[in-house]
């Protein structure tokens, strides 16, 4: 699972500056807008949404 954060500092804040228990690193990458939109187009919800999908298997 991946979360996209709007900036490096926000990401580091949310991951506790990589000092939370069991977490040794935070990963930051540079991505073009085109690459972001392509990745977003390949994404899916992490939960069942009956207003979007007709059944859980879909």
Report whether 31 contacts 11 (CB < 8 A): no
Provide the percentage of residues in the chain whose pLDDT is more than 90: 10
User: Model confidence over 16-34: pLDDT tens digits?
Assistant: 887 888 877 777 788 899 9
28 vs 51, residue with greater confidence: 51
pTM comes to 0.47
pLDDT value of residue 38: 93
Q: Domain ranges in the chain?
A: 1-19+26-58
Provide the CA 20 distance to its chain's centre, in angstroms: 18
Helix (H) or strand (E) holding 36: helix 33-41
Alpha helices in the chain (DSSP H): 8-14, 33-41
- CA torsion sign, 25 to 26 to 30 to 36? positive
Structure token digits, residue 13: 């804040």
């Amino acid at each position: 699972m991946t979360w996209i954060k709007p900036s490096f500092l926000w990401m580091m804040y949310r991951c506790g500056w990589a000092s939370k228990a069991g977490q040794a690193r935070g990963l930051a990458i540079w991505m073009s807008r085109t690459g972001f939109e392509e990745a977003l187009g390949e994404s899916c919800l992490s939960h069942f949404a009956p207003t979007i999908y007709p059944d859980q298997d879909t």
